[in-house]
Structure 1
Amino acid sequence: MAIKQAIVAQALPLIKAGMVVGFGGGTTVGELVRQAANHVNDITVVTPSPTTRQLATVLGYTVISPAYCDRIDIAFDGCDQLDHHGNALKSGGGIHTAEKIIASLADEYWLLTVKDRLVDQFDPQTPLVLEVLPTAFALVMQTVSDLGGQATVRTAANRDGFTLSDQGNLLIDCHFPTYEHLSALNQELVATAGVVETSYFDRLVTNAILGDADHQQVTTLF
């Protein structure tokens, strides 16, 4: 059994009939969405991911917008990095604001990832991503520089121009020499006018299912 399927097999029993379930993006979560359709289809799905929303709709789930949902029983997502305290960086997809809304609504927020992404300290090669109002562009770029970082506006690979969030905001990738004080750095950036959200998930994770491909083992973080 591939490690992705093993992770999904451990996550499946957490989903019960009648639940409101949040599903994020990524291939592992997508596999969980598919398998859950065979396990228990009587759930309501909330998702920040257009790809996951389309898949869930095709599979026959009831899908509702987070805008009209005030509570989620359990949510599943992936991550780029995860520390031993349950903090996470989710920088790749550019939908971290919507993902944080799902995480904040959820009674339980589980990450599904490989054990290689569990770190003692976050690797600064993974950017801290900011969703930023276009009018705050210059302010945010200067603030990142003042905090010792380098900021780059994310551009689209298949069109001329910037990559925009679903809300029409800029995505700015920030690299810092170290993430030793990431929580404090994150607070500084969140407090900057025009920053909608960052890709650092501070104390939002309930638990994580970690797959070890080398040993074909699956464990939980806590």
Structure 2
Amino acid sequence: MANYKQDAAKACLQFLKPLQVIGLGAGATIAYLVDFIAGDVELANSITFVSSSFQTRLNLEQKGLKVKMASQLYAIDIYFDGCDQFDAELNALKSGGGIHTSEKILASTAKEFILIGDESKFVPDLDHTYPVVIEILPEALNIVTVKIEDDFPLATVNLRSGKEKDGAVISDNGNLLANVKFDELPDIAELNTYFKMMPGIVDHSLFYQMATKAVVAGEHGVRVITPQRF
């Protein structure tokens, strides 16, 4: 059975060069990419890696690769990450890991931000299948929740809770995470600004006009997609 995530990850090797600083997100496709890079020992040993993902950093360290924290770097050559959905403009939704604030810092620092995954992630327009995740300062939780539900009466805001601990999920930055589920996704340019401008929200999981390429694999092979922005 074809493994399209693995195919997409392998195709990303074409963008790598010795001595680069490479940022990596989280997830299965990124894990495959780490495996492929580690397989080229000479290349792997010349690259410096950075990631906001605990699991990705652990994987890199276990393979003996050079890892730095974001605070030690000034620039990144390429940032690779997966997502839940992305559209023709390469706007992306990432609702899974809850580390989008740190991932956006890496993505914004990179000369190139490349999305990778199987072709099912590519949709004509982002929709309400996945929630938009917001990171909220604890003291602003009620204010932010009421404001969003007043402005979007059909939306629901649900605080993330732990499956293996009692209470809310706390972000790596010590904040709360909440899923905002829309009945229909609002205009994403306006939504991006709305969340960015709301006091109490640190950041959100809509990556608006940040990616420079997407590498996807499917039944008809691998495609490199560039953003169609007008």
Same fold by TM-score, threshold 0.5 exceeded?
yes
Quote the residue 2:8 is aligned against: 7
Quote the residue 2:95 is aligned against: 91
> Which ranges in structure 1 are unaligned for 5 or more consecutive residues?
none
Quote the residue 2:19 is aligned against: 18
Which deviates the most, 129-138 or 142-151? 142-151
Which deviates the most, 80-89 or 110-119? 110-119
Quote the residue 1:190 is aligned against: 196
Structure 2 residue identity aligned to 1:119 = V
Quote the residue 1:77 is aligned against: 81
> Which ranges in structure 2 are unaligned for 5 or more consecutive residues?
none
How far, CA to CA, are the matches of 1:11 and 1:173 in structure 2? 31
Structure 2 residue identity aligned to 1:95 = I
Post-superposition offset of 1:125: 2.4
Quote the residue 1:55 is aligned against: 59
Which deviates the most, 159-168 or 172-181? 172-181
Structure 2 residue identity aligned to 1:201 = F
Structure 1 residue identity aligned to 2:25 = G
Quote the residue 1:105 is aligned against: 109
- Relative to the length of structure 1, the TM-score reads 0.96
- Relative to the length of structure 2, the TM-score reads 0.92
Do structure 1's residue 217 and structure 2's residue 221 form an aligned pair?
yes
Structure 1 ranges of 4+ moved more than 2 A? none
Quote the residue 1:173 is aligned against: 179
How far, CA to CA, are the matches of 2:120 and 2:199 in structure 1? 35
Which of 129, 134, 138 aligns to 1:134? It is: 138
| RMSD (Å) for aligned C-alpha atoms | 1.1
What number of residue pairs does the alignment pair up?
220
Q: Deviations over 1:92-125 (max 9, x none)?
A: 1100001101100100010111111111222212
Identity %: 35
Post-superposition offset of 1:191: 0.8
Structure 2 residue identity aligned to 1:66 = A
